[in-house]
Amino acid sequence: MECAECGASYPSPQMIDGIAYFVCAQCGNLHELDDYQLLDLAGQAARFARESGFTLPAAYLDYAGRSGSWMVRVPPAQSESLNGYFGDGFYEIGQFFDLDPWRDHGSVFNSAELCDEWGLPDKLVLIDGDGHSWLALDYRRPGEPAVIVIETDEMESLKVANSFAEMVAALVPYESVYDAEGNRIDQI
């Protein structure tokens, strides 16, 4: 969770009589939550499933909140809008959304709100993105969710992988696709 005053991440709270007290180490701001629960990743995933109705892939727990600079190949874009966002054939992942129910942004718990804000389909769980393009788990069909990229101009999407595990197996480091100046160097 982030401080409303300065945006710094709060350290773990002090729990007193069932109330969580967060004190910002940077500015001293105090934030209280009376229904806060300390949960491990599995507990956070279970809470997300209860609240959203979507069960996250087990492999997602290994990546939730992880930062890096990964690239995943996307299929060829078939329209001008898709080409504008994904025409280079890759989507860059900076950080997988975490499982913190208290974060204002950057958490899978924000998916419904963000889908509503950006006009995205209801049955997506956003796992990375910036408002104009998103990486998402697609629950619109029964079974294990596919992984898609979607842009918000025309609401067009491309399937990246049939499952999260398949997508993870295809991740490559940014440096294997682009040089320090952002020029394409790969032929993957």
pLDDT in tens, 33-54: 887 766 788 988 999 999 999 9
pLDDT greater than 70 at residue 188 = no
- In the chain, how many domains are there? 2
pLDDT at 59: 95
Are residue 7 and residue 50 in the same domain, yes or no? Answer: no
Residue 81 lies in a domain: yes
Percent of the chain with pLDDT over 90: 59
Per-residue pLDDT averaged across 93-107, rounded?
88
Residue 154 lies in a domain: yes
Per-residue pLDDT averaged across 154-175, rounded?
95
Average pLDDT of the chain? 90
pLDDT at 1: 72
Are residue 3 and residue 50 in the same domain, yes or no? Answer: no
Are residue 73 and residue 51 in the same domain, yes or no? Answer: yes
Residue 171 lies in a domain: yes
pLDDT in tens, 105-161: 889 999 999 999 999 999 999 999 987 999 999 999 999 999 999 999 999 999 999
pLDDT at 110: 94
Residue 185 lies in a domain: no
16 or 107, higher pLDDT: 107
Residue 188 lies in a domain: no
Domain holding 21, by residue range, is 1-38
Are residue 112 and residue 123 in the same domain, yes or no? Answer: yes
127 or 174, higher pLDDT: 127
Q: In three state form, how does the secondary structure of the chain look?
A: CECCCCCCECCCCEEECCEEEEECCCCCCEEEECCCCCCCHHHHHHHHHHHHCCCCCHHHHHCCCCEEEEEEECCCCCCHHHHHHHCCCEEEEEECCECCCCCCCCEHHHHHHHHHHHCCCCCEEEEEECCCEEEEEECCCCCCCEEEEEECCCCCEEEEECCHHHHHHCCEEHHHCECCCCCECCCC
Residue 183 lies in a domain: no
pLDDT greater than 80 at residue 186 = no
Q: Which CATH number do you get for residue 55?
A: 3.40.1580
Q: Which of 91, 97, 85, 48 is nearest to 73 (CA)?
A: 91
pLDDT at 3: 83
Are residue 96 and residue 108 in the same domain, yes or no? Answer: yes
Are residue 12 and residue 99 in the same domain, yes or no? Answer: no
Are residue 107 and residue 89 in the same domain, yes or no? Answer: yes
Residue 180, both tokens: 């320090």
Burial of 50 (0-12, 13-18, 19+ CB in 10 A): exposed
pLDDT greater than 80 at residue 96 = yes
Give the C-alpha separation, 101 to 123, whole Å.
18
Are residue 11 and residue 45 in the same domain, yes or no? Answer: no
